[in-house]
Amino acid sequence: MSRLATVSPVWGCSLDDLRSLAQIAEDGGFEGIFSPEVPPYSALTNAQVFAEATKNMKVGTWITNIYMRQPVIAAATSMTIQEITNGRMLLGLGVSHKPVNTRFGIEMGDPIESMRNYVGEVRSFADGSSDKVSLKRDVPKLPVYIAGLTSGAAELAGEVADGLMPYMCPPKYLGTLKSEVAEGAQKAGRDSSEIEITSGIPSFISDDESAAIEAAKRGISGYARLPFYQRLIENIGYGDVVQKIKDGANPAEAITDEMVNDIALAGSPSKCKEKLQEHYEAGVDLAIIVPGAVGKQSNVEVMENTVKAYS
């Protein structure tokens, strides 16, 4: 099986649900399960729940907001999970979105430079090279990935990170991001083959393809209101969709079937697996399936269907 990971939902998950989702994914052969972060839910805390519910799979964040924690606390918490799992922790970092950060009184400044500095500090605390702390911890190396939708973020990943975590990117655009990662790596004197390219892909499984596509439109509509994702949607050729949303259209109605088929896996298991292969052919090392419900399904049922479809 090609390399697969998945993520948990943010809303509506009890601790028992989180444990069940992780166990289902691990039993299905998935390589990892990662948690998004929307306050008051903590991606790092959820990763620790996954850690204690699994034996072999990677756990981590997809992603955690760098503006919500000092780097020393992000590193310290991640290192505890790394110790619990004996090296299965993956720290995915992102800058979130201006509307989210503004709500909490956070000034983002330059997101690229903020991320560059943050990754450097996290690494120094994790590997013991920082002169700001005297107590060092002996744990396996902590992989640090960064979220990215633009060439600037991809280039930064090539310079300073262990991997890139884009979302909702068509295979052709993923190829562009991978080239930018390679440029960043070359600039920093690094080997680009050591930097993992992931692809977060919305997934809506149903033999009723029309129902799956409509569910996908609803599922991704919230992202289409956010400036970073609007820029992505324009970059992948759907500027008309963004304009309709800016003019007041409901995003779920503005998003087209063509756009869904470009950025998501929607339909029967066989169709979704065929579309997934295009991401690997574009150079993706690890596909991160983002499960969505078609109709009324619990989070656990959605994960069970997802594992069955892709395993």
DSSP string, 179-192: HHHHHHHHHHT--G
From the list 80, 98, 97, the residue with the least C-alpha distance to 44 is 80
DSSP-derived secondary structure letter, 144: E
Contact of 1 with 311, CB cutoff 8 Å: yes
The pLDDT value recorded for residue 272 is 98
Instruction: Give the pLDDT confidence score for residue 99 in this predicted structure.
Output: 81
Run of H or E including 172: helix 171-188
Output DSSP code: residue 23.
H
Q: Which of 187, 122, 193, 123 is nearest to 159 (CA)?
A: 187
The pLDDT score that the predictor gives to residue 1 is 53
Residues in the chain where the model's pLDDT stays below 70: 1
Residue 21: what residue type?
Answer: L
Q: Enumerate the domain spans of the chain.
A: 4-211+262-310
The pair of three-digit structure tokens given for residue 213, joined into one six-digit string: 């596509």
Q: pLDDT per residue over 261-288, tens digit each?
A: 999 999 999 999 999 999 999 999 999 9
* CATH of 4-211+262-310 among 1.20.120.330, 3.30.70.360, 3.20.20.30, 3.40.50.150: 3.20.20.30
Output the pLDDT for position 206: 98
Per-residue pLDDT tens digits for 228-244? 999 999 999 999 999 99
Q: Name the pairing type of β-strands 58-61 and 64-65.
A: unpaired
Can you say whether the dihedral through the CA atoms of 219, 12, 76, 60 is positive or negative?
negative
| First and final C-alpha spacing in the chain | 7
Residues 276 and 122: their CA atoms lie apart, in Å, by 33
How many C-beta atoms surround the C-beta of residue 248 within 10 A? 7
**What's the confidence (pLDDT) of residue 128?**
95
CA distance 235 to 4: 26
Query: What is the DSSP code (8-state) at residue 311?
Result: -
